[in-house]
Each structure stands twice: as C-alpha cells, then as structure tokens.
C-alpha cells in the first residue's frame, strides 16, 4: 500500500501526527508531497521573508525525509483550486491508497481540504486529517454551555484543567524505512514567489536549530520571562514564533520541554507565564474556527464597523517606514522591516499607534504586518490587531489608548532599543531619547529625524470621538 503525507504548515519530522500515522505500517510505501501555491500566498499577503524561510526549511526536511527513506515530491501551481487538481492527479499516478495530512484552520485552507477529501473519496483514497498544530483541538475547550469562550482568562483556566486531565503526547520521528536512505533525485527548486533573505543568525532554519533554541530557552530564560518579556532591548522571549508558524516546531514539543525542566509549570510556576502565551496562540486559533468571519477580516465587535477611519497615505507610509517622530514606534517598525520580526510589546505599541493615534483602519496594519513577518500567522496576527484596535473579543477597551511616549519611557527607559534601530538619535541623551525634537529645539541642534506627525493628545481625543460616534450610531 502507498501512503501519502501532504505537507503544508507542518515542516518537521518530529512530532508530526500525519507523518507518524502514515509510517505506522512498516510495510507501507510512504511518500510526501509539498505543493507551492504562489498566487494564493500573494492573496494571503505572505511575507517574502517567510517564503524564504519555508524554502530553506523544506530543503532540510527533504534531506531528513530522504535519510528515512521517504521521498519528498514538489509541485508548484497557482492556487488552492489548482493544488486540489494536482493532488488528485498525483494520487492516481502514484497509486496512493491513503492520504495523511494535518489540518489548517483558516477558511480557504479548510474549504480546500473539504474539496480535496471529496474528490479523493470518489477515487477510494482514504483520507485522514489530524489536529496537529495545536495542543488541544478546536472545540474541545468550551464554556459550561458548550460554546467557545470569548474571554481569554477563563479559556486559559479551562485549558489548563484539560491539560491536567491528560497531556497531549509527542510522536517520535519515523524510523528509517526499508531501503533507507534514498538519494534526492531533484532538490526543491526556488519558489516562483518573491523571496527575501532573512537573518539566519536569528532564525537558523531547520528542526535541530529550533529544538536547540527551545531547549536553551526552557532551561533558564523561561523562568526570567515574566520579568523580561516586556523589555525589547533584552533578548527575553523565545523567538520561536517563526518555527511555530510554519510548523518546524510543535506546541507539544514546547509544552513537554518546559515541563521536563520545570515540572510545576502548569501549576502557576514561573514558567507558566510563557505557557500561557502558547495558550493565547491556541485561543486565537480556536476562535477562528468558532467564528470563521475572522478569517475574512471582519471585526468581532459589530459596532466598530461604523468607525470613520481616516484615509491618509502619508501617515500610513510614515508608520510603515518608521518615520512618525515617535522613537519607540519608529525603532519597532525598523526592527520589523529589517528582521521580519517584532517584539510583542512593540507589536502592541505600533498597532495601537496606527489605529488610535492615526485613526487608520486596523486592516491596513494587519496586512502590512503579514507582508513583513517571518512568523506571519493569520489567527495570531488578526487576534493581535483586533485586540489593539478594540474590535476583537477580549480586546483592549476602545478608551484605553497607549501614549507612545510614556510606553517608550516605561519599556525602554534608557533608549537602548531605540538606539539600536535609530542611529540618527545617537547624540540625544538618555533622558531626552523619547522626545528628541524637544531636546533638539532646546539645544539648537538639527536632527535627521522627523517631528511627531500627530500630537498624541489631540489624536487621542479625535479617536475617542470617532469610536463614541460609531458606538452610538449602532
Ligand atoms: P514568546 O513571547 O516567546 O511566546 C511564545 C510563543 O507563544 C510565540 O512564539 C507564539 O507562537 C505564541 N504567542 C505569544 N504571544 C502570543 C499572542 N499574543 N498571540 C498568539 N500567540 C502568541 N504572533 C505570531 O506568531 N504571528 C503573528 O503574525 C503575530 N502577529 C501579531 C500582531 C500583533 C498586532 C500583536 C499584538 C501580536 C502578534 N503576534 C503574532 C503575537 C506575538 O507578538 C508573537 O507571537 C511574539 O512576539 C513572537 O515572539 P516570540 O516567539 O519570542 O514569543
């Protein structure tokens, strides 16, 4: 019998449920397939850095599958519709008896899989899908009245209770099959999609690199995380998001590694703070399944549709390029544009700035982030943006508006992070780094740095008015 593993957002051999299931029968001929869909990626605004990251991880995956005797086939077509046609044809060609794949939860991906299963069913190919990219399947953590939680804290509590009852297990990488290793006949070619080099010292490709980073983080840094996670000048977070987003690493591997080092982590031990972030990841994915309109960028809170967003190309550009005149915002945007990654505190600050200081539609920011992020993930990105814009479930209330200057003072006191990304401010003393133009004026200096494009106090008032008008119109 021939078993096909259709790889998508699960680019690993360790703890891969579909791959493990396909390999369970040691007699089966196991093959794998990856289908690139550049047009679809374009529609989903996939960042060129993420495309390059996928490409590199695929090459390494191809090698580790070959060592185990599993060939990785590759095909490129335009979009999901075309990928179904190809999959069906491929199954016929290769006389596939059973297809194994891990679920993706976004709306287009789910529709594609339903269609693919229908077509393959007609050809008597048995299809098996797995809830692999989550600790617990969507719909398995619900309120007493069997609905999805709309507030995070009770979701997290119920989630932890479920984990206490039973932990999801990790699956070993498959053993080498008969005839292994096999030679690689054709290396995965470059995608016909804009790819952009990423910093390989920060995001080295491959499972081994990801696991090394996880092991290192889980030893000590996870304990310091509650005190350090909000300070962007410190390397205090795991930086594992890029791997989790494309499935080079699984959340189960993260959970088990942390529990190995800190067995009390689920009992509110220090390491729990980090596990709780993984639960935020689950929350947004579970929400997306319960409320698929989120995938279509609809706001969760209906009245926020009425907010009269400003169209201001110049402001949008200044935000994108890190030229707003607010140093913490600008340094953060330059980090994003350079690395394809931004610290979580800064994602909150920059998102709040776009929406609440510039009154620009959060979907503009959501799209721009997606186009830049190496860890771009629809559920987490949409969740983060709707949180910041006060349009989402369990979001910041609309009247809570970050002051970008005091946020900077609070989380980057001496401006160490700002200096790293805004060399044009190197002359400005620590005490003035958050308001460099005030310092420049006082000292008669000329800075190659813009004055604030909006006055926060006025902008705040304008935004409050816009939200209040929208609410009363509903
Ligand atoms: P750590 O702090 O080490 O957290 C560990 C892991 O938990 C992360 O790798 C991530 O998988 C998950 N996680 C952490 N915080 C969140 C969160 N708030 N929501 C969901 N999952 C979380 N995360 C993405 O993975 N992709 C995105 O596209 C994305 N867009 C965001 C947009 C905005 C506006 C905001 C406010 C947040 C966004 N996040 C996104 C969440 C978060 O900022 C990143 O996951 C985090 O900064 C990644 O760095 P890390 O791996 O060092 O995180």
Q: Helices (DSSP H) in 340-389: which residue ranges?
A: 344-352, 362-372, 378-389
Residue 200, C-beta contacts closer than 8 angstroms, at least 6 positions apart: none
Q: How many whole angstroms from its chain centre is CA 33?
A: 23
DSSP code for 423: G
Res 268: pLDDT: 76
Q: For residues 474 and 466, give the distance between their C-alpha atoms in angstroms, rounded to a whole number.
A: 13
Determine whether the shortest distance from the Cβ of 281 to ligand 1 is under 6 A.
yes
CA distance 256 to 258: 5
The answer to whether residues 118 and 266 belong to one domain is: no
Neighbours of 409 (CB within 10 A): 17
CA atoms of 249 and 236, how far apart (whole Å):
19
User: In angstroms, what is the span from residue 389 Cα to ligand 1's centroid?
Assistant: 16
pLDDT for the residue numbered 216: 97
431 and 313 in a single domain? The answer is yes
Q: Are residues 216 and 320 in the same domain?
A: no
Half-sphere exposure of 93 (CA within 13 A, CB side): 9
CA distances from 16 to 131, 218, 243, 309, 408 (A): 10, 21, 14, 43, 41
241 CA to centre of ligand 1 in angstroms = 6
pLDDT (tens place) for every residue of the chain, 474 residues total: 999 999 999 999 999 999 999 999 999 999 999 999 999 999 999 999 999 999 999 999 999 999 999 999 999 999 999 999 999 999 999 999 999 999 999 999 999 999 999 999 999 999 999 999 999 999 999 999 999 999 999 999 999 999 999 999 999 999 999 999 999 999 999 999 999 999 999 999 999 999 999 999 999 999 999 999 999 999 999 999 999 999 999 999 999 999 999 999 999 788 999 999 999 999 999 999 999 999 999 999 999 999 999 999 999 999 999 999 999 999 999 999 999 999 999 999 999 999 999 999 999 999 999 999 999 999 999 999 999 999 999 888 999 999 999 999 999 999 999 999 999 999 999 999 999 999 999 999 999 999 999 999 999 999 999 999 999 998
Same domain, 126 and 89: yes
The answer to whether the CB of 375 is under 6 A from ligand 1 is yes
CB 330 within 8 A of CB 324: yes
In a domain, 113, yes or no: yes
Residue 297's closest CA among 115, 88, 45, 79?
Answer: 45
Residue 38, domain extent: 2-132
Whether 68 and 152 share a structural domain = no
Q: Is residue 191 part of a domain?
A: no
Q: Are residues 22 and 121 in the same domain?
A: yes
- Domain end: 233, 260, 290, which one? 290
β 126-130/29-36 pair status: unpaired
Position 406 in a domain: yes
Lay out the sheet containing 126-130: strands in order across.
72-76, 29-36, 2-7, 98-102, 126-130
Of 270, 290, 310, which one is at a domain's C-terminal end? 290
Best residue among 240, 241, 288, 353 to mutate for probing ligand 1, ranked by most atoms within 8 Å of CB: 241
The answer to whether residues 58 and 65 touch, using CB atoms and an 8 Å cutoff, is: no
Nearest to 402 by CA among 280, 230, 226: 230
Residue 411: strand, helix, or coil = helix
Residue 100 pLDDT: 98
Residue 297 lies inside a defined structural domain of this protein: no
Which CATH number covers residue 283?
1.25.40.80
Could you tell me if 214 and 355 lie in one domain? no
Residue 90's H or E segment, with its range, is: helix 80-93
The verdict on 267 and 243 lying in the same domain is: yes
Ligand 1 within 6 A of CB of 221: no
Residue 25 Cα to ligand 1 middle (Å): 37
Q: How distant is the alpha carbon of residue 448 from its chain centre?
A: 34
User: ipTM of the predicted structure?
Assistant: 0.99
Residue 351 CA to ligand 1 centre (angstroms): 13
382 CB near ligand 1 (under 6 Å): no
For ligand 1, atom 21: residue with the closest CA? 281
Three-state SS at 186: coil
Taking CA atoms only, the protein residue closest to ligand 1 atom 13 is 277
200 part of a folded domain: no
Both 111 and 96 in a single domain?
yes
Q: Give me ligand 1 centre to Cα 403, in Å.
A: 22
The answer to whether position 79 is within a domain reads yes
The domain boundary, picked from 261, 290, 319, lies at 290
Q: Is 395 in a helix, a strand, or coil?
A: coil
Residue 142 sits in the same domain as residue 117: no
The total domain count for the chain is 3
Q: How far is CA 88 from CA 37, 175, 221, in A?
A: 16, 28, 47
Task: Write out the two tokens for 149.
Answer: 């939680």
For residue 184, being part of any structural domain is answered with no
Residue 178, domain member (yes or no): no
- Tokens 């996870």 correspond to 222
Whether ligand 1 lies within 6 angstroms of the CB of 40 is answered as: no
Ligand 1 nearest atom to the CA of residue 378, by list position = 28
Nearest Cα residue to 277 out of 337, 348, 226, 326: 226
In this structure, are 73 and 101 located in the same domain? yes
Cα–Cα distance for residue pair 87/33, rounded to 1 Å: 9
Q: Rounded to two decimals, what is the model's pTM? A: 0.98
Query: How much is the pLDDT for 250?
Result: 98
Confirm or reject: Cβ of 241 under 6 Å from ligand 1: yes
Tell me, using a 6 A CB cutoff, whether residue 377 lines ligand 1: yes
**Secondary structure letter of residue 240 according to DSSP:** -
Please, which residues have CB within 8 angstroms of residue 443's CB and are 6 or more apart in sequence?
Answer: none
Nearest Cα neighbor of 69 from 171, 175, 173, 172 is 175
Q: Are residues 259 and 169 in contact, defined by beta-carbon separation less than 8 angstroms?
A: no
| Residue positions annotated with a catalytic role | 277, 280, 309, 344, 362, 385
User: Quick one: 261 and 153 in the same domain?
Assistant: yes
CA–centroid distance, 301 to ligand 1, in Å, is: 22
Task: Say yes or no: CB of residue 351 within 6 Å of ligand 1.
Answer: yes
């Amino acid at each position: 019998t021939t078993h096909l593993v259709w790889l998508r957002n699960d680019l690993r051999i360790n703890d891969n449920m579909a791959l493990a299931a396909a390999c369970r029968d040691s007699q089966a001929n196991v093959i794998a397939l990856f289908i690139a869909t550049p047009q679809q990626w374009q529609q989903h605004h996939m960042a060129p850095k993420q495309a390059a990251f996928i490409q590199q991880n695929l090459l390494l995956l191809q090698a580790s599958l070959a060592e185990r005797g599993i060939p990785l086939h590759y095909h490129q077509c335009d979009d999901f519709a075309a990928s179904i046609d190809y999959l069906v044809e491929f199954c016929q060609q290769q006389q596939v008896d059973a297809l194994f794949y891990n679920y993706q939860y976004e709306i287009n991906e789910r529709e594609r899989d339903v269609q693919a299963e229908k077509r393959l069913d007609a050809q008597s190919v048995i299809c098996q899908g797995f809830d692999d990219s989550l600790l617990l399947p969507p719909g398995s953590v619900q309120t007493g009245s069997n609905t999805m939680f709309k507030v995070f804290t009770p979701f997290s509590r119920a989630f932890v209770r479920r984990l206490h009852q039973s932990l999801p297990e990790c699956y070993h990488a498959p053993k080498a099959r008969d005839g292994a290793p096999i030679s690689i006949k054709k290396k995965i070619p470059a995608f016909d999609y804009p790819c952009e080099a990423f910093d390989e010292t920060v995001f080295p490709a491959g499972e081994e690199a990801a696991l090394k980073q996880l092991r290192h983080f889980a030893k000590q840094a996870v304990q310091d995380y509650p005190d350090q996670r909000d300070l962007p000048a410190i390397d205090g977070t795991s930086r594992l998001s890029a791997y989790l987003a494309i499935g080079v690493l699984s959340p189960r591997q993260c959970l088990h590694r942390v529990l190995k080092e800190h067995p009390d982590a689920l009992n509110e031990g220090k390491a729990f703070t980090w596990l709780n972030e993984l639960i935020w990841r689950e929350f947004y994915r579970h929400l997306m399944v319960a409320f698929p309109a989120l995938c279509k960028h609809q706001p969760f809170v209906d009245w926020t549709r009425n907010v009269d967003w400003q169209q201001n190309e110049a402001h949008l550009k200044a935000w994108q390029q890190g030229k707003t005149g607010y140093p913490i915002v600008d340094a953060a945007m330059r980090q994003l544009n350079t690395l394809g990654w931004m610290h979580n505190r800064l994602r909150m600050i920059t998102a709040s700035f776009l929406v609440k200081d510039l009154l620009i539609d959060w979907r503009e920011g959501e799209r721009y982030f997606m186009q830049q992020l190496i860890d771009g993930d629809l559920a987490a990105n949409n969740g983060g943006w709707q949180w910041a814009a006060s349009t989402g479930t369990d979001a910041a209330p609309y009247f809570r508006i970050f002051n970008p200057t005091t946020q900077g003072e609070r989380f980057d006191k001496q401006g160490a992070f700002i200096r790293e990304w805004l060399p044009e401010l190197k002359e400005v003393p620590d005490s003035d780094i958050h308001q460099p133009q005030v310092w420049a004026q006082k000292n008669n200096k000329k800075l190659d740095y813009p004055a604030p494009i909006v006055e926060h106090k006025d902008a705040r008032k304008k935004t409050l008015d816009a939200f209040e008008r929208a609410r009363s119109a509903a």
